[in-house]
Amino acid sequence: MANDFTFPDNAAKTATAAAGEFLPEKMSINMGPSHPSTHGVLRLQMELDGEIVTKADPVVGYLHRGDEKIAENMTYNQFVPYTDRLDYLAPLANNVAYAIAVERLARLEVPPRCQAIRVIIAELARISSHLMGLGAFGIDVGAWTVFLYTFTEREKLYRLFEELTGARFTTSYTRIGGVARDVPDGWLGRVNAFCDQFLPILEETLALLTRNKIFLDRTAGIGVIAKEDAIAYGLTGPNLRASGVPLDLRKDKPYSGYEQYEFDVPVGSHGDCYDRYLCRGEEMRQSVRIVRQAIKRFPGGDWYARDARRIFAPPKDKILTSMEELIQNFMLVTEGPQMPAGEVYFEAENPKGALGFYIVSKGGGVPWRLKIRGPSFCNLSILPKVCVGAMIADIVSILGSFDFVMGECDR
């Protein structure tokens, strides 16, 4: 039977094309910007040979809001809410990264209690972001159930965020030199209780996928990124570690007191979609470990830099009763926290990768230039390479495993 098929060359085919035959030619296909598997507004233009992708060109920028231009026109504290909208699945982690970047510029040290609060919220944000990424990845490859589990857990986290910051999503919790308010009474206990009930559920959720034949078929050996390529394209976060590079800024360039905590950095061996999934799963367990340690040795004292008179707002009761503090607060609001001239570059290990802020200051309360290095932007830049040679159905799997968010890609 196999011998019945013949493959005429293109010239011969064209000669008989008048008979209305289909020509063996490549097809171009467009995914997005409003395609569910593109997780936002990513658009992919692809060229297919049958079901094999021969060329891929991601089109980004649909969510470009000019955050960097906006930053040049407002004071450092005013920009905090804009950082929520970078990686909008982990706003707390963005808040922390931005605050530390500006504090590096001001050469300001925050007290241990503030550092511990920031570690806890950054790790909770990591769990919530990975839960979202995992749930969406599951849906992409046809496993709906996972999403229902992870969203239930994420909802519990959002209740905790709401209690702490007053908002579920757009938290705007950090300030330059501290946080907006101290943790509420009993909040740490509720975080601990969340961790206790979360771990068994996480195991159950991961068990739905880890040895699932369908999931393995859709992810193992798909979208392989070699170690060298991952580095050359500037990948960071779980996507880089899944390719076997043990780079975690929490370990390698510790900030906010991460050096005090014990945790492991999961590293993949194949760099395929499955390894990226495994890395995220393990990172959630490690985040729980960090959160528990931080709560166990939660320091007392101030939750903001008390000596930073020209940077952090005075206590509210003082503003209302004392002239000195009123003036100080007025200056802070109108002129912004006063920064020295100079430039800093700070990267924090965010759920999606290294979120970097490059701040060029000429002094005063407004940055001259603020560049945001969105990890998703760099992670996506490898798509033209990874997608080529993959099947069209695998593209969905690859995109799901990248766990990108367009808010920080397009800024």
How many Cβ atoms are within 10 Å of 300's Cβ, its own excluded? 8
Q: How far is the CB of 346 from another protein (least distance, A)?
A: 7
Distances (CA, A) of 48 to 7, 94, 171, 386: 19, 38, 43, 14
In this complex, which beta carbon is closest to another protein, that of residue 314 or of residue 364? 364
Q: CA 225 to CA 333: how far, in whole Å?
A: 47
End-to-end CA distance of the chain: 56
Which of 383, 393, 377 is closest to 219 using CA atoms? 393
Q: Report the C-alpha gap between 316 and 388 in whole angstroms.
A: 58
Provide the minimum distance between the beta carbon of 401 and another protein in the complex, in angstroms, as a whole number: 19
Single out the residue of 13, 47, 52, 78 in contact with another protein (rule: CB under 8 A): 78
253 near another protein, judged by CB under 8 A: yes
- What three-state secondary structure class fits 36? helix
Q: How far is the CB of 356 from another protein (least distance, A)?
A: 5
Q: Which of 49, 32, 121, 80 is CA-nearest to residue 380?
A: 32
Q: Which amino acid is at 4?
A: D
Question: Is the CA virtual torsion 315, 317, 320, 325 positive or negative?
Answer: negative
Pick the piece of the chain touching another protein (CB under 8 A) from 224-232, 268-276, 291-299, 313-321.
224-232
> Closest by alpha carbon to 100, among 269, 343, 347?
347
- Residue 167 phi, psi dihedral angles, 5° rounding: -140, 145
CB 360 to another protein: min, Å: 6
Name the minimum Å distance from CB 380 to another protein: 8
Selected from 98, 233, 263, 312, the binder of another protein by CB under 8 A is 233
Q: Is 12 in the site for another protein (CB under 8 A)?
A: no
Six token digits for residue 252: 């390698």
Give me the least distance between CB of 324 and another protein, in Å please. Answer: 18
Yes or no: say if 369 and 341 are a contact pair by the CB < 8 Å rule: no
Residue 33 touching another protein (CB under 8 A): no
- Report the distance separating Cα 265 and Cα 64, nearest Å: 33
Q: Is the peptide bond before 33 cis (omega within 30 degrees of 0)?
A: yes
Residue with smaller CB distance to another protein, 84 or 410: 410
Is the Cβ of residue 64 or residue 159 nearer to another protein in the bound state?
64
Measured from the CB atom, is 281 or 365 closer to another protein?
Answer: 365
Instruction: Tell which positions 335-394 bind another protein, by CB under 8 A.
Output: 335-336, 340, 342-347, 354, 356, 358, 360, 362, 364-366, 368-369, 371, 373, 377-378, 380-382, 385
Backbone angles phi, psi at 337, to 5 degrees: -65, 135
Q: Helix or strand or coil: residue 364?
A: strand
CB of 317 to another protein, least distance (A): 24
At its nearest, how many Å lie between another protein and the CB of residue 342? 4
One character per residue 291-330, x = contact with another protein (rule: CB under 8 A) = ----------------------------------------
Nearer to another protein, 153 or 349 (CB): 349
Q: Which of residues 86-105 bind another protein (CB under 8 A)?
A: 104-105
Cα angle: 204, vertex 210, 214; to 5 degrees: 115
Q: Are 68 and 372 in contact (CB under 8 A)?
A: yes
Dist. CA 328–CA 322, nearest whole Å: 10
Q: Which is nearer to another protein, 63 or 96 (CB)?
A: 63
Q: Which is nearer to another protein, 121 or 235 (CB)?
A: 235
Q: How far is the CB of 138 from another protein (least distance, A)?
A: 29
Count of CB atoms within 10 A of residue 188's CB? 18
CA angle 374, 274, 269 (to 5 degrees): 85
User: Which CB sits closer to another protein, 138 or 353?
Assistant: 353
Interface with another protein, residue 107, by CB under 8 A: yes
* Minimum distance, C-beta of residue 148 to another protein, in the bound complex (Å): 35
Q: Which residues bind another protein (CB under 8 A)?
A: 60-61, 64, 66, 68-70, 72-75, 78, 104-105, 107, 229, 231-235, 245, 247, 252-253, 333-336, 340, 342-347, 354, 356, 358, 360, 362, 364-366, 368-369, 371, 373, 377-378, 380-382, 385, 410-411
